[in-house]
Amino acid sequence: MAVVPAQSLRVSDIRDPTVLFERYNTEEIRGIERKVRGEIEHKKEELRQMVGERYRDLIDAADTIGEMRQCSESVVTSIQDMHRYCHKLKQGKSVPQSNSKEEVQRQSQEKFYTMASQIKLLLEIPERIWSSMEASQYLQATQLYLLCCHLHRQLHLEAGGPQYSPVLARFPILVRQVAAAGHFRSTILLDSKSVLRGRAVSDQAIAEALVSTMLLEDSSPRQALADFLLARKASIQQLLNQPQHGAGIKAQVCSLVELLVTTLYQAYAVFYVAPEGSPRLGDGGLSSGLLFTTLENVTSTTPTGKGRRVLQEEVSTGSWFKYLPSSIAEFQPALRTLAQPIQREQLRDTLQQWINTCKEDIRNGVSSLLVYVNSLKGLASIRDAVWDLLSTDSISQHWSFICQRLLERPLALWEDFLQQLFLQRLQAITQEGTETISTRCRQLLSSALRDLEGQPTPPGPGPPGSSPLLPSRGALYEADVASFLWSEAQGDLLSDSAWVSVSQRGPQHRSGLAMKTQALTPCVQIFCSSLDDALRDRLDDLQHYLPSDNTDPQVPSLSFTIGLGSGSSSGSGTVSSFDRFTDAVEVEETLRERCLACVRDIITCVRSKLGVASPVGSSPNPAHLSSVLFMARLCQSLSKLCPNLRQCILGKQGGAAADPVTKGTPRQSRKLGKAAAKATEVSPAQAKWACLKEELLVVSMEAYRIWSSALSKALVGRFATSLHAESAGAILANATNWEELEIQEEAESGSSVTSKIRLPVQPSWFVQSLLFHLCLGVNGVGGHAVPRPTLQELLQGCMDLVLHQYQNLIHTAQDKDCPFPMTQNRSLQLLFDLRYLTATLGTRLEDGRGFRSHQDPRVQQVCDSLESYIDPFDLDVFMPPFNSNLNRLSQRSSVLLGLLTGTEKQFVSRGNSVGSQEPYNILPLASTQIRFGLLPLSMTNTRKTKSSTQGTDITRPLASPTSKPSHDDTSRPGNLFRQLANQEEEPVAPPSLFKLGWLSGMSK
Q: What is the dihedral of CA 382, 383, 384, 385, to 10 degrees?
A: 50
CA 516 centroid distance within chain? 36
Looking at the domain assignment, is residue 640 inside a domain? yes
Q: With 80 as the cut, is the pLDDT of residue 81 above it? A: yes
Q: How many CB atoms lie within 10 A of CB 87?
A: 10
Q: How many residues does the chain have?
A: 1004
Looking at the domain assignment, is residue 647 inside a domain? yes
Domain that includes residue 986, residue range: 934-1002
Among 34, 58, 88, residue at a domain's last position:
88
Q: With 90 as the cut, is the pLDDT of residue 95 above it? A: no
Task: Please tell me the number of Cα atoms within 13 Å of 67 on its side-chain side.
Answer: 5
- The amino acid present at 510, given as its one-letter code, is R
Looking at the domain assignment, is residue 537 inside a domain? yes
Helix (H, G, I), strand (E, B) or coil at 510: coil
Q: Which of 369-373, 652-656, 769-773, 830-834 has the lowest mean pLDDT?
A: 652-656
Element holding 191 (H helix, E strand): helix 184-196
Q: How far is 436 from 439, CA to CA, in rounded Å? A: 5
Query: What mean pLDDT is predicted for residues 909-936?
Result: 44
- Residues 341 and 335: beta-carbon distance below 8 Å: no
Confidence band, pLDDT 50/70/90 cuts, at residue 916: very low
Confidence band, pLDDT 50/70/90 cuts, at residue 653: low
Confidence band, pLDDT 50/70/90 cuts, at residue 16: confident
Residue 40's nearest CA partner among 16, 3, 14 is: 14
Task: Taking the CA atoms of 928, 929, 932 and 937 in sequence, report the sign of the dihedral they define.
Answer: positive
Any alpha helices (H) in 331-464, and if so which ranges?
344-370, 376-390, 393-396, 399-406, 413, 419-453
Q: Which residues, at least 6 apart from 978, have a Cβ–Cβ distance to it below 8 Å? A: 972, 1000, 1003
Query: What mean pLDDT is predicted for residues 519-544?
Result: 88
Supply the pLDDT for residue 507: 61
**647 and 732 fall within a common domain:** no
Supply the pLDDT for residue 490: 76
Q: How many CB atoms lie within 10 A of CB 784?
A: 22
**526 and 642 fall within a common domain:** yes
Given phi > 0 = left and psi -120 to 50 = alpha, else beta, which region is 955? alpha
Higher pLDDT, 428 or 979: 428
Supply the pLDDT for residue 951: 36
Q: Which residues, at least 6 apart from 577, have a Cβ–Cβ distance to it below 8 Å? A: 386, 387, 389, 390, 391, 395, 396, 414, 563, 564, 565
Looking at the domain assignment, is residue 52 inside a domain? yes
Q: Which residues, at least 6 apart from 227, have a Cβ–Cβ distance to it below 8 Å? A: 193, 196, 210, 213, 219
| Burial class of residue 546 (count of CB atoms within 10 Å of its CB; 0-12, 13-18, 19+) | buried
Number of domains in the chain: 4
Could you read off the pLDDT of 781-839 as tens digits, one per residue?
Answer: 887 888 888 888 888 889 889 888 888 888 888 776 666 778 888 888 889 988 888 88
Query: What mean pLDDT is predicted for residues 283-289?
Result: 72
Could you read off the pLDDT of 545-592 as tens digits, one per residue?
Answer: 888 765 544 433 333 333 334 333 333 334 456 778 888 888 889 999
Supply the pLDDT for residue 679: 44
**851 and 945 fall within a common domain:** no
Looking at the domain assignment, is residue 945 inside a domain? yes
**887 and 942 fall within a common domain:** no
Residue 769's nearest CA partner among 855, 820, 833, 838 is: 833
Helix (H, G, I), strand (E, B) or coil at 846: strand
pTM of the model: 0.67
- Residues 210 and 332: beta-carbon distance below 8 Å: no
Q: How far is 252 from 236, CA to CA, in rounded Å? A: 10
**483 and 617 fall within a common domain:** yes
Supply the pLDDT for residue 133: 84
Q: With 50 as the cut, is the pLDDT of residue 719 above it? A: yes
Q: Which of 62-71, 582-591, 926-935 has the lowest mean pLDDT?
A: 926-935
**622 and 755 fall within a common domain:** no
Supply the pLDDT for residue 353: 92
Write the DSSP symbol of residue 417.
I
Q: With 50 as the cut, is the pLDDT of residue 413 above it? A: yes
Confidence band, pLDDT 50/70/90 cuts, at residue 456: very low
Higher pLDDT, 328 or 554: 328
Q: With 90 as the cut, is the pLDDT of residue 230 above it? A: yes
Q: How far is 638 from 697, CA to CA, in rounded Å? A: 10
Supply the pLDDT for residue 917: 45
Among 678, 705, 732, residue at a domain's last position:
705
Looking at the domain assignment, is residue 163 inside a domain? no
Highest-scoring range by mean pLDDT, 162-176, 714-728, 980-994: 714-728
**439 and 488 fall within a common domain:** yes
Supply the pLDDT for residue 639: 87
Q: Are strands 752-760 and 844-846 parallel, antiparallel or unpaired?
A: unpaired
Among 55, 88, 121, residue at a domain's last position:
88
Supply the pLDDT for residue 956: 33
Q: How far is 643 from 508, CA to CA, in rounded Å? A: 7
Query: What mean pLDDT is predicted for residues 652-669?
Result: 47
Q: With 80 as the cut, is the pLDDT of residue 98 above it? A: no
Phi, psi of 599 (to 5 degrees): -70, -40
Supply the pLDDT for residue 439: 92
Residue-averaged pLDDT of the chain: 74
Write the DSSP symbol of residue 415.
I
- Residues 336 and 267: beta-carbon distance below 8 Å: no
Q: How far is 188 from 137, CA to CA, in rounded Å? A: 10
Supply the pLDDT for residue 432: 92
- Residues 777 and 758: beta-carbon distance below 8 Å: no
**Percent over 70 (pLDDT), the chain:** 70
Supply the pLDDT for residue 582: 82
DSSP H helix total and E strand total for the chain: 38, 6
Could you read off the pLDDT of 338-397 as tens digits, one per residue?
Answer: 778 888 899 999 999 999 999 888 989 888 888 888 888 889 999 888 888 888 888 888
Could you read off the pLDDT of 118-163 as tens digits, one per residue?
Answer: 777 777 778 888 888 888 888 888 888 888 787 777 776 655 544 4
Could you read off the pLDDT of 612-632 as tens digits, one per residue?
Answer: 887 765 667 777 788 888 888
Q: How far is 217 from 78, CA to CA, in rounded Å? A: 40
Any alpha helices (H) in 815-856, and if so which ranges?
824-841
Supply the pLDDT for residue 593: 92
Supply the pLDDT for residue 179: 66
List Cα–Cα distances, 77 to 72, 81, 84, in angstroms.
8, 6, 10
**Percent over 90 (pLDDT), the chain:** 8
Supply the pLDDT for residue 895: 76
- Residues 390 and 578: beta-carbon distance below 8 Å: yes
Phi, psi of 902 (to 5 degrees): -85, -175
CA 12 centroid distance within chain? 94
Supply the pLDDT for residue 967: 41
- Residues 468 and 456: beta-carbon distance below 8 Å: yes
Question: Which residues are registered as beta bridge partners of 745?
Answer: 753
Helix, strand and coil content of the chain, in percent to the nearest 5, comes to: 65, 5, 30
Query: What mean pLDDT is predicted for residues 938-967?
Result: 37
Supply the pLDDT for residue 723: 84
Residue 705's nearest CA partner among 639, 793, 781, 784 is: 793
**945 and 810 fall within a common domain:** no
Could you read off the pLDDT of 430-441 as tens digits, one per residue?
Answer: 999 999 999 999
**476 and 611 fall within a common domain:** yes
**890 and 950 fall within a common domain:** no
Q: Which residues, at least 6 apart from 515, have a Cβ–Cβ distance to it below 8 Å? A: 525
**995 and 888 fall within a common domain:** no
Write the DSSP symbol of residue 624.
G
Q: How far is 162 from 892, CA to CA, in rounded Å? A: 136
Higher pLDDT, 116 or 933: 116
Q: Which of 442-456, 542-556, 704-718, 831-845 has the lowest mean pLDDT?
A: 542-556
**896 and 948 fall within a common domain:** no
- The amino acid present at 81, given as its one-letter code, is D
